[in-house]
Structure 1
Amino acid sequence: MTQQPAIVSIVIPCYNHGQYLQEALDSIDYNKINYSVEIIIVDDGSSDHETLQKLESLKQLNYTVIHQTNGGPGKARNTGINVAVGKYILPLDADNKIDPNYINKAIPLLEKNQADIVYAAPNFFGDTSIKKRQFKVRPFDDLGLVTGNCADGCAIYRKEVWTKNGGYDEAMPYYGFEDWEFWINASKNNFIFHFINEKLFFYRIIGDSMIAQFDNNERNVLIHRYLAKKHSDFFLEKLVKITYIRERYFYDLLRFPITPIVYLLYWLGILENTTLRAKKKYAHYEVNKKIA
């Protein structure tokens, strides 16, 4: 779809979402994007006639369409990224859309080596009455990754991140959490995250979508347990730091009534806050771990 070598490869997994796919493609406006892109659509074993018909018509328009048996979003992304030629990767779900400025704002940060992974906030549309599906995206914090995800999968990152991570985990107990595991892996591999605090992609809320089934608390616990077991060293290290911060916090509370003064000094930068203190306290451990 592009005359020049692609800088950004947009990989679109599609499973029975043919009715939305054209909207996703239309949001990739070549006239507004300052960089060359390629689009790779991965059919993840769709059975819906409308989707199969749409994919066939896109092949006729010279879009790259790859078919595979159903393996979930992680496998579909791996399939697409494996053949991608772009220096940077942008996964885009078939039912979502992007603002062209997302790419325009992310690439300069990546090109200047200010980040390896750039992500932004979502603009929700569709069935927005389902409030519990409107997740929060927050600035990157390695400690926070042990309690929950910080970013959606619709991020722009170096292909090197995917390579060093070993791709997306295709063995997750349930679909829909591949991004969280991918970011944990990226953090372990010391890649730099950058959050653009703007709404630069559109996240469609569908009542009967795949992710809707993951509101089950038991499944969330099983996923958390799976990640903690797979990345046990990472979880242990971060939880030790969190425990230290919590102890410092409660110690400060016990010093009331001087606590407000202490927190004022934190805010003014005169005292070091507990998070920074914890990171410095355990910095030598991280250095020794790398040497070992």
Structure 2
Amino acid sequence: MRVAIVIPCYNDQRFLPEALATIDGEEPTEVVVVDDGSDDPATLRLLDSLEQAGIRVLHQHNAGPAAARMAGVAVSQAPYVLPLDADDLLGPGSVRALADALDAHPEAGVAWGDLELFRPSGARLFDRGPDSLDPWLITFVNDLPLSALFRREVLLQAGGYQLRDGYEDWDLWMALAERGVRGVRVPRLVERHREHGARRWSQDFSRHERALAVLRERHEDLFAARGANRRRSAAPWRQRLLLPTIEAAAFLSVRNKYRLAHLVSHPLRFFRLQLQRRSEARSTARPHTRRNEP
């Protein structure tokens, strides 16, 4: 098998079966589900049934998704590794397409594709994956998806997923950029990312600010090289012009810096997402009235 798919699970009984169902049989895969200290009886029953069906399930005390992913990587054998969150989905044929891309590009250490955001309301937003891992741009925004396919040795040499308190995927992309790792984009839908209340971490702006400080400390050399990397960056002009300005604006709150950076990076997605959220908020707030019966 070329590919190991590692899925952290913490009380994800509602979503995990759907995630597993999107791993199609087109590409034989090694699947490892890592139980990150679940205490929900329904989830524990599901994990038992998966083990009985032959899926490898690891159990550990709750240590967060980063540690769970790396525990799964440690026991897997395949040369390529793809992390998948238990509440996300894979696009049809995406695993084989990513593996074929790495086979065809030995100079690349990682392959990714396009992303679709979907919400409980049924609203969907398509997000085209970036063409490259840009060492300058990655210090401002993380446009790269979680579910990318890594060469095992590249993932381990970069240190894998390390941060417990969030942005562990952004931290990994920075580590890869520091090492000059090249990537390849596959032009097809790979990850369907579920947006729901439990995943609104990025809206906790005090945690966001603390996490950014950690990233700056851990990747000091990458941030120090911004000037040189900006001259080589393939990022669109609006990002190269506006992202440094937004970051340096002392009068802006962390929340507004976050929103403006995403507006500059993905203007169409930003406005569509805001409209969808407002529409959902109005639908939730609207009182339900019954029609008069004839």
Q: Is the 8 A contact 1:13 1:93 kept in 2?
A: yes
1:161 equivalent in structure 2? 154
Residue 16, structure 1, aligned to residue 1, structure 2? no
Residues 6-54 of structure 1, C-alpha deviations (whole Å, 9 max, x = no match): 2100001001111111111111111xx2x32110000011111111110
Asked if 1:198 is matched to 2:188, the reply is yes
Distance change >3 Å, CA 38–CA 244, structure 1 → 2: closer
Structure 2 unaligned regions, length at least 5: 242-294
Name the SS for the 2:226 alignment partner. Answer: helix
> Is 2:22 the counterpart of 1:27?
yes
Checking the alignment, whether the CA contact within 8 Å between 1:139 and 1:150 is kept in structure 2 is no
Letter in 1 for 2:62: N
The worse-fitting range, judged by mean Cα deviation, of 177-186 and 194-203 is: 194-203
User: TM-score under structure 2 normalisation?
Assistant: 0.73
User: Counterpart of 1:184?
Assistant: 174
Task: State the SS of the aligned residue for 1:100.
Answer: coil
Aligned 8 A contact 2:147 2:190 in 1: no
8 Å CA contact retained: 2:116, 2:127: no
Q: Number of residue pairs matched?
A: 234
Aligned partners of 2:6 and 2:33 also within 8 Å:
yes
The one-letter amino acid of 2:144's match is A
Paired residue for 1:67?
59
Q: Which amino acid aligns with 1:62?
A: G
Query: Which residue of structure 2 lines up, in the alignment, with residue 263 of structure 1?
Result: none
Among candidates 215, 220, 229, match of residue 227 of structure 1: 215
Contact 2:109 2:150 in 1 (8 A): yes
Mapping 1:68-147, distance limit 5 Å: 68-112=60-104, 113-127=106-120, 137-140=129-132, 141-147=134-140
Does residue 57 (structure 1) correspond to residue 52 (structure 2)? The answer is no
Structure 1: 5+ residue runs without aligned partners? 1-5, 251-292
State the AA in 2 paired with 1:217: F
Q: Secondary structure at the match of 1:18?
A: coil
Residue 88 of structure 1 aligns with an amino acid whose one-letter code is Y
Whichever residue aligns with residue 170 of structure 2, its letter is W
Check 1:109–1:243 CA distance in 2 against 1; reply closer, same or farther (3 A cut). closer
**CA–CA distance in 2 between the matches of 1:244 and 1:83?**
39
Over the residues paired in the alignment, what is the CA RMSD in angstroms? 2.5
Counterpart AA for 2:179: N
- 1:130 deviates by 8.4
Does the Cα contact within 8 Å between 1:146 and 1:235 map onto a contact in 2? Answer: yes
- Give distance in 2, aligned partners of 1:58 and 1:36: 17
User: Aligned partners of 1:204, 1:221: CA distance in 2, in Å?
Assistant: 24
Give 1:167 shift: 2.0
After superposing the two structures, state which structure 1 stretch, 75-84 or 103-112, moved more.
103-112
Aligned partners of 1:87 and 1:157: how far apart in 2? 9
